[in-house]
Amino acid sequence: MSGTALIFGISGQDGSLLARHLLARGWTVHGASRDAELNEFANLTRLGIRKSVTVHSANPIDFRSVIQVIERTAPDHVYNLGGQSSVGLSFEQPIETYESIVVATLNILESIRFLKRSIRFYNAASSECFGDTKEAADETTPFHPRSPYAVAKSAAFWAVANYRDAYGLFAASGILFNHESPLRPARFVTQKVIRAAADIAAKTRTEPLVLGNLDVWRDWGWAEEYVEAMHLILRHGSPQDFVVATGQSEPLKAFVAEAFAAFGLDWRAHVISSGEFMRPSDISVSAGCPDRAQRLLGWKAQVRMPEIVRRLAIAAAPALAVSEAM
């Protein structure tokens, strides 16, 4: 199966990787950006697919802009991967976070409903919606958002469910747990850790890495596998929501230890935990149960945390990474 896809948020990690995934399967791919003329689309260029993607200027929080780009591109699939994506930043910019996630999602849903076309819609939900997970969260686990970002993602999730139930749209959410790649922005903790370890190993950095709570647990996956799950969700016979996760949670301290070991370093000599970097409300344990995705989509994560760290380390500094130390 191939067709035409429109990706909101195509310049980000997930959008770029999804574009490559779809192109490799014969899809025509369009991408939406607030200002396509000024956006350099560095991730698309890095992946070698910039010339294969048609980009359009469209602001997701402007309804007219959204409906025009959907009408112009006539997509079979629409993926909503945009919005303010930093949990930490959402505490400082709650209104921007809410608008870029909730209003944008509603504009896309309403555009699809108004145009009355047979479009399948994917919405990027988040494991942050669950809050702390005492047991691995699945599709029936209640939401308990603990940040403005998580509140916005939860509201968008229920908007998708409402449009699916009320109007019969093929609209589904993927509740993705943490997923990494070298395309992650530098502000994310995984990139901070990898880059600090690489710089210390290269002797271009002497100061220690200061992080927040090292005892938080996260379910880390490989982003290239997760965009495959997005595509499978829209190819499924009926619109359903899916948890996308590895099913295995690890402490941040273990990630840090693996990252520094990849460069032949002992993390305890280079990392400090400080309350200054702790969020007003944080999640202690985040763990997902991907059984439904495996059962109905045939999808299962293959890459786990140690291998993720090894790949990130090699991408950050191939000449320095000590892969055999992994």
Residue 134: CB atoms within 10 A of its CB come to 9
Strand, helix or coil for residue 235 = helix
Residue 21: CB atoms within 10 A of its CB come to 18
Residue matched to tokens 């991967």: 81
Which amino acid belongs to residue 178? N
In the 3-class helix/strand/coil scheme, how is 145-198 assigned residue by residue? CCCHHHHHHHHHHHHHHHHHHHHCCEEEEEEECCEECCCCCCCCHHHHHHHHHH
Q: Which residues are catalytic?
A: 126, 128, 149
Q: Quick one: residue 131, left, alpha or beta (phi over 0 = left, psi -120 to 50 = alpha)?
A: left
DSSP bridge pairs for 121: 78, 171
Which amino acid belongs to residue 206? T
Strand, helix or coil for residue 307 = helix
Q: Which among 172, 164, 169, 162 has a CA at the least distance from the CA of 241? A: 172
DSSP secondary-structure letter at 116?
Answer: T
- Whole-angstrom Cα distance, residue 172 to residue 247? 21
